[in-house]
């Protein structure tokens, strides 16, 4: 990169950070409407963390990911790595929510064919009620994530270099995932994640990419670029109000959603927040802000990723119920009790499965789903694959 281009990049990056700081001030001072929040943190006493579970619950003592082989669906291979047990009664899986590693701006590129031990964003070996309580990100994890995100445009974190297509495929093999949808997140300045995602998907037919584009300054040119990314196999777009610094009811986002509605493009969008994000990020991702595009475009179809994350599960479910003809729910990160609530309160044909790899290992997301559906085994094939393929009109083996 030439000296002039580097200066231009640093200037643009500085502008984004400064702009984010201004929005942060606005969110904290009430200049822009912004809903307050409260997040219940897991108590430090591990006995309290286990919650109100029956004494004979077979999964009560699972405090670490490495203990998941105590469940009937999991085993360990000769190297001690978790895998799906031979003969496990698990239907074919299509994971609709995964990512490959981020490298942005001037950061070093990531070799998507490289194999190495995966460094997940969240640590599931720390003692916790792994299935029934969502404790991530912890305060320590949030601090590291914030620091890494801030500096990613200048240098690629070593952890991100382990989030390769080859590593994901190896994990998919162990847990019998037939396909994984790769979701790109395009930041406002010097973004490369969409290109990296498309390149990773070309390594193996089991990796299915969504499109990624930033809505800022929506234009005819951006419509043409997005149309060129989509094909007859997958017509899906990833939107992330937090990392893209744009609320779903912002004018440019609304124009993008209008184009998606007109062209039958499904939008998979992040919803809610964990509570550890800066205030301006929380303001951008309030679930109520999705009312505007869903009301304005009655044919718009959305998948609400995470169903509100850690801090906005009830509010996101309420928004989805008001627009249930348009909204599908994906529940990555949610613990067993919340998944059970979705099974009780939302149409089963509108639920789809995702893991959010590499934030979560495939094993943790799958274990929570299998435990939550212990009394609804008949719904597993639809939620694990069929609902998504029908929504996307996909034909896969």
pLDDT tens digits for range 337-362: 999 999 999 999 999 999 999 999 99
Cα–Cα dist 115/169, whole Å: 10
Are 84 and 176 contacting, i.e. CB atoms less than 8 angstroms apart?
Answer: yes
Kindly report the pTM of this predicted structure: 0.87
Query: Has residue 126 got a pLDDT over 90?
Result: yes
Query: Has residue 102 got a pLDDT over 70?
Result: yes
Average pLDDT, the chain: 87
Q: What is the pLDDT of residue 179?
A: 97
Are 319 and 290 contacting, i.e. CB atoms less than 8 angstroms apart?
Answer: yes
Q: What is the pLDDT of residue 29?
A: 28
Are 20 and 14 contacting, i.e. CB atoms less than 8 angstroms apart?
Answer: no
39 confidence band (pLDDT: 50, 70, 90): very low
Range with lowest mean pLDDT among 231-235, 242-246, 254-258: 231-235
Are 17 and 109 contacting, i.e. CB atoms less than 8 angstroms apart?
Answer: no
**Rounded to whole angstroms, what are the CA distances from 19 to 13, 23, 246, 280?**
10, 6, 12, 10
Cα–Cα dist 258/239, whole Å: 14
Cα–Cα dist 47/137, whole Å: 20
Q: Pick from 143, 134, 135, 104: which is nearest to 243 by CA?
A: 104
C-alpha 317, offset from chain centre:
17
Length of the chain: 397
Indicate the pairing of strand 211-212 with strand 236-239: parallel
Are 210 and 267 contacting, i.e. CB atoms less than 8 angstroms apart?
Answer: no
DSSP string, 263-315: TT-EEEEE-S--S-S-HHHHHHT-GGGGHHHHHH-TT--EEEEGGGTTT-HHH
Q: Which two tokens stand for residue 106?
A: 């001037």
DSSP structural state of residue 52: S
pLDDT tens digits for range 363-377: 999 999 999 999 999
68 confidence band (pLDDT: 50, 70, 90): very high
Average pLDDT over residues 269-284: 86
39 or 204, which is more confident?
204
Q: Which CATH number fits domain 46-392: 3.20.20.140, 3.40.50.300, 1.20.1050.10, 1.10.3720.10?
A: 3.20.20.140
């Amino acid at each position: 990169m030439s000296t002039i281009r580097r200066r231009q990049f640093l200037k643009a990056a500085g502008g984004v950070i400064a702009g984010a700081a201004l929005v942060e001030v606005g969110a904290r001072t009430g200049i822009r409407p912004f809903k307050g929040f409260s997040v219940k943190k897991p108590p430090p006493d591990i006995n309290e963390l286990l919650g109100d579970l029956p004494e004979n619950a077979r999964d009560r003592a699972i405090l670490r990911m490495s203990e998941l082989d105590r469940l009937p669906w999991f085993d360990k291979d000769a190297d001690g790595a978790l895998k799906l047990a031979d003969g496990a009664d698990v239907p074919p899986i299509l994971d609709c929510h995964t990512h490959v590693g981020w490298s942005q701006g001037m950061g070093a590129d990531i070799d998507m064919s490289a194999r190495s031990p995966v460094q997940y964003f969240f640590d599931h070996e720390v003692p916790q009620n792994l299935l029934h309580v969502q404790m991530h990100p912890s305060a320590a994890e949030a601090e590291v994530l914030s620091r890494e995100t801030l500096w990613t445009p200048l240098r690629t974190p070593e952890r991100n270099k382990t989030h390769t297509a080859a590593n994901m495929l190896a994990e998919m093999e162990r847990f019998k995932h037939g396909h994984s949808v790769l979701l790109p997140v395009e930041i406002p300045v010097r973004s490369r994640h969409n290109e990296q995602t498309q390149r990773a998907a070309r390594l193996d037919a089991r990796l299915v990419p969504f499109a990624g584009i930033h809505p800022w300054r929506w234009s005819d040119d951006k419509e043409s670029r997005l149309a060129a990314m989509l094909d007859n196999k997958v017509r899906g777009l990833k939107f992330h109000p937090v990392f893209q610094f744009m609320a779903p009811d912002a004018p440019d986002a609304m124009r993008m959603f209008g184009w998606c509605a007109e062209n039958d493009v499904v939008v998979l969008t992040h919803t809610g927040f964990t509570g550890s994000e800066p205030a301006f990020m929380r303001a951008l991702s309030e679930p109520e802000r999705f009312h505007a595009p869903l009301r304005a475009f009655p044919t718009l179809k959305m998948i609400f990723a995470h169903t509100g994350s850690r801090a906005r599960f009830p509010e996101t479910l309420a928004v989805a119920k008001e627009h249930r003809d348009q909204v599908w729910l994906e529940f990555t990160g949610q613990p067993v009790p919340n998944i059970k609530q979705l099974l009780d309160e939302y149409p089963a044909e509108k639920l789809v499965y995702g893991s959010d790899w590499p934030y979560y290992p495939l094993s943790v997301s799958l274990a929570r789903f299998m435990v939550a559906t212990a009394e609804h085994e008949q719904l597993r094939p639809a939620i694990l694959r069929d609902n998504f393929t029908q929504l996307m009109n996909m034909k896969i083996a």
